[in-house]
Amino acid sequence: MSRRLFALAVAALALTAVPAPAQQASDAIAPEAATPAATAKLVTAKSYMVAAANPIAAATGAEVLKQGGSAIDAAVVVQTVLGLVEPQSSGLGGGAFLVYYDAGRKRLTTLDGRETAPQMATPRLFLDKDGQPMKFMDAVVGGRSVGTPGTVRLLQEAHNRWGRQEWKRLFEPAAALADAGFAVSPRLAALIAEEGDGLKKYEATKAYFFDKAGAPLKAGAVLKNPAYAETLRAIGEGGADAFYTGRIAEAIVDTVRMAAGNPGVLALNDLVDYRVRERVPLCISYRALEVCGMGPPSSGAVAVGQTLGMIENFDIKGLGRDNPESWRIIGDAQRLAFADRGRYLADTDYVPAPIKGLMQKDYLGKRAALLDGDKALADEAVKAGEPEWDHALNFGRDRAIELPSTSHFVIVDRDGNVVSMTTTIENGFGSRLMTGGFLLNNELTDFSFETHDNGVPVANRVEPGKRPRSSMAPTIVMKDGKPLLAIGSPGGSQIIGYVAQALIAYIDWGMDVSQIVAMPHLLNRFGTFEIEAGTGAEKLAEPLKALGYEIKTGALTSGLQAIEISADGLKGSADPRREGVAVGE
Ligand code: GLY
């Protein structure tokens, strides 16, 4: 198909592909008890597949693979389309982490495209004039929370290494769609309506998400974004440099610095100096598999790995998924992992962290011994442990807040290359600031607002150039040196629980990818058991209460996308709580 025909086909799809409202999560812990309408679709394919949070993005990415593009070519297209059709979650104005399996070299690589704090930011960025932490949303909305975006450099870096198709060509599908217009999805429409006046503070954002009469755009409304098309074509022509220098960079800086009521300190040199970092993939062995993901500045792989490393000491398979005892062990293992995360994890370019010690089997065995009882751990017992490390340093506990947002996609191409990428602008609609047709992130609010805890510095405090700690957990599970499962989710710090639960369900309980993405959620980060409302998980509320937990029942809107890779082909699925799909052939 020619480039122009491809762009036209995408535009036609965009105008018709208004997804159905998100389905409820399945009705019971046991998949066989789930009602058929509530389960996720299991998609099978022989050669290639994309699973992403929006059907237009997934279909456009799959078309690139069909035309012989690589997984990274498709990732560029999926990300640029997501930035248009799911703008509230990720985009050019944000940051991302990529876990990539190179089938030719048989090698895993992780790339860190996390935002950085501006050079002019100080640890007191989110303290008011009396030294008190700002209210969270007062910090989020405006320029103060905007970090140097990393996603565009990440895409360029990945494409330089593993791209096959011409860079410029990969920006055309999203640009054509932005020119032609796309149908606003039910989820986007609902989120605009929910935000209401909160999204009207800044003129460019208001003009984009509301009609001329000031009403929020409705599902099915055709939305064009010529400014985004222009930005994309500039990056297509000039590479990432066209984003990090010149007109686009100047507009980002002006938007941040002139944000009424809450300006930020981002400067042109922050953009010019931005670099993607290659990090060592963090892997933990779990029941004969290797679970690999993103190390610091993300806490994702450490916290997921610690949870698995602790529960490996118990017969979770034998106990089964309907047993409160399984959830006591999983929930308290998560709490212990969060206690370590709160003390030790931050950007290791700035603070030393005992990553090796935290992942050691001996250490996790000792932590697991704390779970030997038969009741919920008392709050006083849930403290950071003392892993082995080289530095005689201590850190205060961090209370950074992360609210659910973000997007995850997975891609497998014909050659067996695998992408697992979690991408974000942090809060839904980020800082609410828009320039060049895209929203700017509020990632800096992932830092601790407090600089010290009882006189001890907090590892995840703001520092110039530092990357805020993340919970994003893009994961690839390896079996005998080959990728078996690619998975991840949005959801702020709940990401860790979503991904850990899905891995346990897949590995211990033998559930397939469509079952693990739809399974009702039970999470425990800080003591309270969070149980997904309206699902069979509610049946565990009373038994868990009897074990001593406080219970909170509510929405747990994960956005898990997963692809399993086996000798028989590919099996993929997208979380039914959002609008995603898996597409392959
Ligand atoms: N802002 C979401 C995360 O990085 O975890």
* Residues sharing a CB contact under 8 Å with residue 7, sequence separation 6 or more, in sequence order: 172, 173, 175, 176, 177
Sequence-ordered list of residues with C-beta below 8 angstroms from that of 568, at least 6 positions apart, any chain: none
pLDDT value for 23 = 41
C-alpha to C-alpha distances, 552 to 97, 342, 402, nearest whole angstrom: 30, 21, 18
Nearest CA to ligand 1 atom 1: 426
- What are the tokens at 529? 């058991």
Backbone angles phi, psi at 283, to 5 degrees: -125, 145
- The protein residue whose alpha carbon is closest to atom 3 in ligand 1 is 470
Q: Decide the pairing of beta strands 289-293 and 475-479.
A: antiparallel
Could you give the CA distance from residue 97 to residue 113 in angstroms, rounded to a whole number? Answer: 6
* 4 contacts: CB under 8 Å, gap ≥ 6: none
| Poorest-pLDDT segment among 34-43, 66-75, 192-201, 401-410 | 34-43
Cα separation, 334 vs 181, in Å, equals 43
Q: How far is the CA of 310 from the centre of ligand 1 (A)?
A: 24
The tokens for 459 are 């590892």
Residue 24: the pLDDT is 42
Are the C-beta atoms of residues 440 and 122 closer than 8 Å to each other? no
Of 76-90, 375-389, 437-451, the range with the lowest mean pLDDT is 375-389
The ligand 1 atom nearest the CA atom of 443: 1
Atom of ligand 1 minimally distant from the CA of 95: 4
Q: Give 517-536 pLDDT, tens digit per residue.
A: 999 999 999 999 999 999 99
Supply the pLDDT for residue 390: 63
CA of 472 relative to ligand 1 center, distance in Å: 6
d(CA 565, CA 79): 22
Query: Residue 323's closest CA among 83, 64, 123, 30?
Result: 30
Look-up: residue for tokens 């398979």?
317
How far apart, in whole angstroms, are the C-alpha atoms of residue 430 and residue 183? 21
Take residue 344 and report the two structure tokens written for it: 């030790």
Cis check for the bond before 263: say yes or no (omega within 30 of 0).
no
In angstroms, rounded to a whole number, what is the distance separating the alpha carbons of residues 513 and 410? 13
Q: Are 271 and 252 in contact (CB under 8 A)?
A: yes
CA dist 413 and 67 (Å) reads 11
CA distances from 59 to 11, 50, 204, 422, 583 (A): 11, 8, 29, 18, 6
Q: What distance in angstroms lies between residue 408's CA and the mean position of ligand 1's atoms? A: 11
Q: Which amino acid is at 336?
A: L
C-alpha 22/C-alpha 441 separation (Å) is 25
Question: Quick one: DSSP state of residue 186?
Answer: H
Query: For 407-425, what is each residue's pLDDT tens digit?
Result: 999 999 999 999 999 999 9
Domains of the chain: 3-16+81-278+401-521 (3.60.20.40)
**Is residue 470 lining ligand 1, measured as CB closer than 6 Å?**
yes
Q: What is the mean pLDDT of residues 79-102?
A: 98
Half-sphere exposure of 296 toward its Cβ, with a 13 Å CA cutoff? Answer: 23
Measuring CA to CA, which residue among 422, 419, 421, 411 is closest to residue 570? 411
Active-site residue, from 148, 255, 406, 422: 406
Cβ of 492 below 6 Å from ligand 1: yes
With CA atoms as reference, report the closest residue to 442 among 9, 149, 47.
Answer: 149
Measured CA to CA, the distance from residue 499 to residue 519 in angstroms comes to 12
- Tell me the three state secondary structure of residue 507: helix
Reply yes or no on whether the pLDDT at 1 is more than 50. Answer: no
Matching residue, tokens 């930035």: 83
pLDDT at 388: 83
Centre of ligand 1 to C-alpha 424, Å, is 7
Residue 406 annotated to the active site = yes
Give, for ligand 1, the residue of 89, 151, 424 to mutate: max count of ligand atoms closer than 8 Å to Cβ.
424
Mean pLDDT throughout 243-255? 98
Q: Is the pLDDT of residue 169 over 80?
A: yes
396 beta partners: 458
